[in-house]
């Protein structure tokens, strides 16, 4: 089957070296090198006929491992440009974990961050971990939410370009977070998402109660959101793209036509179709075959 191998780097000068190593990986698994197609100054698409794409992917990981290069190997099946993007928020579309930053305002960041790290690595149950962390915020003035957003929340590089480009070319973009709707509403508006889904912190008397509305949006709910959006658009899962960094993203990453791990925990990166470790979120556009001149800023 014909596959598109996309190489993306932050350093255009090493693109040729990455290409040479990719050629070595192709020969190693007896795949066939077809053609080159530049996507940008630091992004190259190569056509490869591969009977065993899983073996080729493993060979590419070995050959490219010490270079600051991200790659994606995807079948040329007419569904490269996706019609639905479902994205995680914390540490994916934005550069922080909002719950950890809120905990700093409550003086418990160290404790909360430790639990967050274990939950995102899949070591403990996400829903229980969320309840435990939110309980530590009891009594925090509700005004801390806006202060946290203003002072500590920013879009990761390429987020706005990713969403605007995909929406311009007809895709629907949805933000799905195990965090809180106070933040997803604002982040979705800033980046241009069509819709957002998240958990809701319960407030009474101008302060957080230490509770979150049930049921909690976690791994299963993220997958359900992907499936519901897919059904509403009357498309197949092959036409979808999901991106995230934590264990609670694994189900949606596995179900999507292209599931990408962004700066992800090792267990998540190992199971994703592709990963972004070195470049920014515009690599998700290159992975779909978009050229730099098609990007919308």
Catalytic member of 35, 66, 88, 249: 88
The neighbour count for residue 38, using CB atoms within 10 Å, is 12
Asked if 70 is an active-site residue, the reply is no
Question: What is the C-alpha separation between 243 and 226, in angstroms, rounded?
Answer: 11
> Active-site residue among 90, 100, 249, 273?
90
**What is the residue whose two structure tokens read 């530590």?**
136
Distance CA 17, CA 126 (A): 41
Q: What is the b/e burial string over 185-197, where b = at least 16 CB atoms within 10 angstroms of the residue's CB?
A: ebbbebbbbeebb
Residue (of 187, 162, 161) closest to 175 by Cα position: 187
Distance CA 268, CA 121 (A): 8
Q: Is 245 designated active site?
A: no
As annotated, the active-site residues are 88, 90
């Amino acid at each position: 089957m014909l596959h598109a191998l996309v190489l993306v780097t932050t350093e255009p000068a090493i693109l040729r070296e990455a290409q040479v190593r990719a050629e070595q990986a192709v020969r190693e698994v007896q795949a066939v090198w077809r053609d080159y197609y530049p996507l940008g100054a630091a992004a190259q698409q190569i056509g490869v006929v591969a009977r065993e794409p899983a073996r080729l992917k493993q060979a590419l990981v070995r050959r490219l491992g010490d270079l600051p290069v991200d790659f994606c190997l995807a079948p040329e099946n007419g569904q490269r440009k996706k019609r639905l993007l479902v994205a995680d928020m914390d540490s994916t579309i934005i550069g922080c974990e909002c719950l950890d930053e809120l905990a700093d305002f409550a003086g418990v960041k160290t404790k909360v961050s430790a639990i967050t790290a274990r939950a995102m690595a899949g070591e403990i149950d996400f829903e229980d971990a969320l309840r435990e962390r939110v309980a530590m915020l009891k009594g925090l003035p509700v005004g801390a939410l806006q202060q946290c957003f203003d002072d500590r929340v920013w879009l990761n590089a390429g987020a706005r370009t990713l969403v605007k480009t995909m929406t311009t070319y007809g895709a629907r973009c949805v933000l799905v977070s195990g965090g809180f709707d106070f933040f997803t509403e604002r982040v979705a508006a800033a980046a241009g998402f069509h819709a957002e889904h998240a958990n809701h912190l319960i407030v009474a008397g101008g302060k957080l109660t230490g509770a979150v509305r049930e049921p909690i949006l976690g791994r299963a709910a993220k997958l359900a959101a992907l499936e519901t959006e897919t059904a509403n658009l009357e498309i197949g899962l092959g036409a979808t793209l999901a991106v995230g960094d934590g264990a609670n993203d694994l189900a949606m990453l596995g179900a999507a036509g292209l599931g990408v791990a962004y700066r992800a925990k090792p267990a998540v990166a190992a199971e994703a179709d592709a990963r972004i470790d070195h470049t920014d979120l515009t690599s998700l556009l290159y992975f779909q075959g978009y050229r730099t001149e098609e990007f919308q800023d």
